[in-house]
Amino acid sequence: MNELTGKNILIGVTGGIAAYKVVEVVSRLKKLGAEVRVVMTRAAAEFVAPRTFQEITKNPVSVEMFAGTVNFHVEHIALANFADVLLIAPATANFLAKAAHGIADDLLTTIVLATTAPMMVAPSMNTRMLEHPATQANLKILENRGVKIIDAEIGLLACGTSGKGRLSEPENICAEIVKFFAPKILEGKKILVTAGGTIEPIDPVRFIGNRSSGKMGYEIAKAAQIYGAEVILISGNAAVDAPDNVKFVKVETAEQMRAAVLAEYETVDAVIMSAAVSDYRVKNVAAQKIKKSNETLTLELVKNPDILKELGQHKSHQLLVGFAAETENVIEYARGKIAEKNLDFIVANDVSQEGAGFSVDTNIASLINRAGDVENLPKMSKAELAERIIRRVAESI
Ligand code: C5P
């Protein structure tokens, strides 16, 4: 999906070694459909050739205020007007100081004063420079003025030391831009998402689990947050990192997940239950590690609570979305589940298909509502499917 189609992004590149990483930022933004123009400071042009950005953006790259004779007096105004958002990456300590105090001594800093577009800055510098009271004060000034600071990360720096000061990863910078443009259709709404697979202990070292990676649910949580919702992510076992800016609750068993979900249920507007909850648990969990003494071992399993069904039974105002992973008669079973669990809609998929289901990055799903209407979606990334689901939720609450 081209989330940034029709969006004009002006990127100011200042003179830090991380300038090379911004090539990737630009490339990603272009792939997302944005129109990108780049302005570089003279120092930045020492690190990366303007031509590199020129080739990727397919637009001229401006460095000098008084370059040639080409309408210099309108260029900064034209670029200032072009921008729907102005991103400075990497932002050096020098740039931050100038921007904070309204100094306009080159093309980029002049644009900063001339534009009414919102500004984002992604600082990158040596740790001591970043932590210097002057830099910190300048960041505060900018933040108080409404500038979005995309925080530097901790890591190995070009100067050979390790600490805070690395430019935020291109993926993260682009996510911030996408978030900036996303319509806040879930503003003021609280969404509970469950994800990952629950695990059921057998003894202190073993458990019964499933192949859920958590990818689908984590993408849903991310999308809900991008669209402005307050998000609670209750997660079982997962193979992916928790998204930022969500309330993250880690659980292991189905019973723990049930307790965590019920604790939040009354306060939320929607529950999206994408977790793969174990249907059974071991009846008598061994207190000590089970020895391999016998030829066979029998575990007695008892049924776990069906969390979603319970939510359906006690539904007041909440929108309930379930998942149905099947290997046959997908639509038929999914329709049955809507009725059985009192759901508003269900995301059904045939996990036996290639490119769908557990662990992979894509999914092939159908969205089915209470009336039984089916929207068959083509194979798409889990991130894109998450967005579709979230849009449907936003339409319904
Ligand atoms: O009945 P089935 O397990 O196929 O239903 C799947 C849906 O129900 C999923 O949304 C899943 O998260 C939820 N579920 C649950 N508690 C269980 C089993 C499944 O909430 N014990």
Ligand 1 site, residue 198, Cβ cutoff 6 A? no
Instruction: Give residue 162's pLDDT.
Output: 87
344 contacts: CB under 8 Å, gap ≥ 6: 319, 320, 321, 369, 370, 396
Pocket test for ligand 1, best of 274, 306, 330 (most atoms within 8 A of CB): 306
Instruction: Give residue 223's pLDDT.
Output: 94
Question: Cα–Cα distance between 35 and 82 in angstroms, integer?
Answer: 10
Distance (Å) of CA 299 to CA 278, 284, 286, 293, 304: 15, 8, 10, 15, 15
Ligand 1 site, residue 234, Cβ cutoff 6 A? no
Question: Cα–Cα distance between 164 and 162 in angstroms, integer?
Answer: 7
Question: Which residues are known to be catalytic?
Answer: 159
Ligand 1 site, residue 150, Cβ cutoff 6 A? no
Ligand 1 center–CA 386 separation, angstroms? 18
Can you tell me which atom of ligand 1 is nearest the CA of 305? 21
Ligand 1 center–CA 273 separation, angstroms? 7
Q: What is the DSSP string of 164-204?
A: EEEPPPHHHHHHHHHHHHS--TTTT-EEEEEESB--EESSS
Ligand 1 center–CA 320 separation, angstroms? 12
* Token pair in block for residue 322: 């379930």
Question: Going by DSSP bridges, is the β-strand pair 365-369/374-376 parallel, antiparallel, or unpaired?
Answer: antiparallel
Can you tell me which atom of ligand 1 is nearest the CA of 254? 21
- Low pLDDT (below 50) residues in the chain: 69, 71-72
Can you tell me which atom of ligand 1 is nearest the CA of 278? 21
Instruction: Give residue 350's pLDDT.
Output: 87
Ligand 1 site, residue 308, Cβ cutoff 6 A? yes
Ligand 1 site, residue 218, Cβ cutoff 6 A? no
Under a CB-based contact definition with an 8 Å cutoff, are residues 148 and 168 in contact? no
**For 219-262, how does the pLDDT look when each residue is reduced to its tens digit (9 = 90+)?**
999 999 999 999 999 999 999 999 888 999 999 999 999 999 99
Instruction: Give residue 68's pLDDT.
Output: 52
Distance (Å) of CA 145 to CA 40, 115, 304: 23, 14, 52
> What percentage of the chain carries pLDDT values higher than 70?
97
Instruction: Give residue 69's pLDDT.
Output: 44
Ligand 1 center–CA 341 separation, angstroms? 9
Ligand 1 site, residue 202, Cβ cutoff 6 A? no
> What percentage of the chain carries pLDDT values higher than 90?
85
Ligand 1 site, residue 368, Cβ cutoff 6 A? no
Ligand 1 center–CA 195 separation, angstroms? 11
What element of type H or E holds 233?
strand 230-235
Q: What is the DSSP letter of 379?
A: S
Instruction: Give residue 245's pLDDT.
Output: 87
Pocket test for ligand 1, best of 208, 216, 273, 367 (most atoms within 8 A of CB): 273
Q: What is the DSSP letter of 289?
A: P
Query: Whose CA is closest to atom 5 on ligand 1?
Result: 324
Instruction: Give residue 165's pLDDT.
Output: 95
Instruction: Give residue 360's pLDDT.
Output: 83
Under a CB-based contact definition with an 8 Å cutoff, are residues 223 and 383 in contact? yes
Ligand 1 center–CA 323 separation, angstroms? 7
Ligand 1 center–CA 73 separation, angstroms? 64
Distance (Å) of CA 10 to CA 5, 50, 78: 14, 14, 11
Under a CB-based contact definition with an 8 Å cutoff, are residues 165 and 371 in contact? no
Query: Whose CA is closest to atom 19 on ligand 1?
Result: 277
Instruction: Give residue 76's pLDDT.
Output: 84
Query: Whose CA is closest to atom 16 on ligand 1?
Result: 306
